[in-house]
Amino acid sequence: MNDSKNAVVTTTGGRVEGSYEDNLYVFKGIPYAAPPVGKLRWEPPQPVKPWDGVRPAKKYGNMAPQNAMPFAMPGMPAFEEPQSEECLFLNIWTPGIDDAKRPVMFYIHGGAFIIGAGSEPVLKGGKLARRGDIVLVSINYRLGALGFLNLNEVTGSKIRATGNEGILDQIAALDWVQDNIAAFGGNPDDITIFGFSAGGMSVGTLLGIPLARGKFHKAMNRSGAANVVAPLDNAVKMSERYLELLDLTGRDADALRNLTPQQLLDGQQQLSMKVRETESRATPFIPVVDGVKIPEWPIDAIKKGLSKNIPVMAGNALDELKAPNMMMDPAMHNMNEAELNRRLNKLLPSDMVPGLINTYRDALKKRGSKADFADVLGTVGVDLMFRMTTLQLVEAQRDNGAPAYNYLFTYKSPAMGGVLGAMHGLDNPFLFGNLEPQLCGTGPAVENLAVKIQDSAIAFARNGNPSCESIGEWPAYGRERMTMILDKDTRVEGAPYEDERCAWEGYEISHTLPL
């Protein structure tokens, strides 16, 4: 580390001092909003109170309160930052604190809206910023019951939380970036929002709500589209169940405000376990179509042209959460035809189910998979939750005349004997340049794939088009459904896995509760 260069920048809140590391200026733990504590718990984010002197910005800020993740990916290090409700911080990696007006890549972390932070170990070193001569920003936002619990209805507006406070945090961070990023060498008129999993779903939500209009200029959805939002009645039901577990009612607003973060997390853990057991849901806490902050289904707003001027690059991993979900659900190991039909009939119109089962069974056999009942259910679940909703988003932007690009990450992890496949999040180390050998494998082909993924993301942030020298021409999705296959043999294919896609035609997915 070299701190010899002056790394002091003036922001709207005051001066901050970062560090100079490996040819990058690095600023960590900058507050972008007031701490949402005390009377500000469950309130929309408020402006930062300015400070005197120079505030150190060399260590990450607190993570949002969260329980341990239910499934640890092999080889992925754990977070080390402390947790606190005082968590609204962002981090910046920039090649220069000058007037260069570099493109800005604004990263929203994933974690099912209940875990994660902008200090993810995969971001270490800010390598994407150095490689692309761009400014990289990562953020924290409120999670779980503190960020996505609707309390307005159940408390009779004594607590006005809509269940979208975490999304409002993201918008507040975007406002901060627009106001301040020029001082860090970035261009406030060239911001690409991108995110993974719940972060990708957040990007889809931001594309579909008026509050975010004009605050970003390109969008990259990775393993998450515009579909994970709850209808208001479902959010209210979750709030009621949550209060029951805490032995409270909507009349107990003051008692609810006075609960410690750990008490809130304990209740959150209990509710999460119950909805996983009864509804196979990953989390009860997601953004809410409340009619105000989120006026309508985000995908409907996108189809109507709310973000028709925003280039979109979106895609998925082939297997996403298929393997982890099977590992965490013992019933999957004894799946039979009756249980397969029962589960799919809970998720989909009953007249679709027989055709889907037949199509996916045949398609899986062609892929060389077992095509047993669990395999069919897992693959249908991946496509319902991730791939078909991503294609729906890409097609909406295509039909609105916006540049729209699609990819499918099919490289399979060598970890655990290959059982994880092309799993959810495996592409993160490739994108951020921090390959973990156990999870990602080793060798020139792996390193070459990482270069192509990084360069295409940087090219998209710069030009709204992911074509670049290393990956070659990347055509828009178009009517031919042109898709970049990201694997050791990187290539463009027209309409890959078309039989499966056709099986969903005519079925509009306005929202999907997280599986």
Residue boundaries of the structural domains of the chain: 8-289, 311-502
Q: 236-269 as b/e, with b when 16 or more CB fall inside 10 Å?
A: bebbeebbeebebebebbeebeebebeebbebbb
Q: Is the pLDDT of residue 282 over 80?
A: no
Q: CB–CB of 275/281 below 8 Å?
A: yes
335 band by pLDDT with thresholds 50, 70 and 90? confident
| Mean pLDDT within 209-230 | 97
Residue 3: predicted pLDDT:
47
Element (H, E) at 437: helix 437-440
- Cα separation, 416 vs 430, whole angstroms: 19
Could you tell me the fold of the domain covering 311-502? Rossmann fold (3.40.50)
- Cα separation, 132 vs 134, whole angstroms: 5
Catalytic residue annotation: 197, 320, 424
| Pair type for strands 482-486 and 404-409 | parallel
Residue 77: predicted pLDDT:
52
Q: Which of 35, 134, 123, 130 is nearest to 76 (CA)?
A: 123
CA dihedral sign, ordered 267, 271, 277, 283: negative
Q: CB–CB of 342/489 below 8 Å?
A: no
Q: CB neighbours (10 Å) of residue 489? A: 10
- Cα separation, 427 vs 446, whole angstroms: 11
Q: Is the pLDDT of residue 394 over 90?
A: yes
8-289 and 311-502 share one fold: yes
Q: Percent of the chain scored above 70 by pLDDT? A: 97
What CA dihedral angle connects 150, 194, 112 and 319, to 10 degrees? Answer: 140
Give the range among 6-10, 75-79, 282-286, 489-493 with minimum mean pLDDT. Answer: 75-79
Residue 75: predicted pLDDT:
45
Q: What is the mean pLDDT of the chain?
A: 94
If one looks up domain 8-289 in CATH, what number appears? 3.40.50.1820
Q: Is the pLDDT of residue 514 over 90?
A: no
Residue 68: predicted pLDDT:
83
| Mean pLDDT within 78-103 | 93
Residue 143 is encoded by which pair of tokens? 């999670």
291 band by pLDDT with thresholds 50, 70 and 90? very high
**Strands annotated E in 144-185:** none
| Mean pLDDT within 357-363 | 96
The model's pTM is 0.96
| Mean pLDDT within 428-436 | 97
CA dihedral sign, ordered 277, 281, 287, 291: negative
Three-class DSSP labels, 203-271: HHHHHCCHHHCCCCCEEEEECCCCCCCEEHHHHHHHHHHHHHHCCCCCCCHHHHHHCCHHHHHHHHHHH
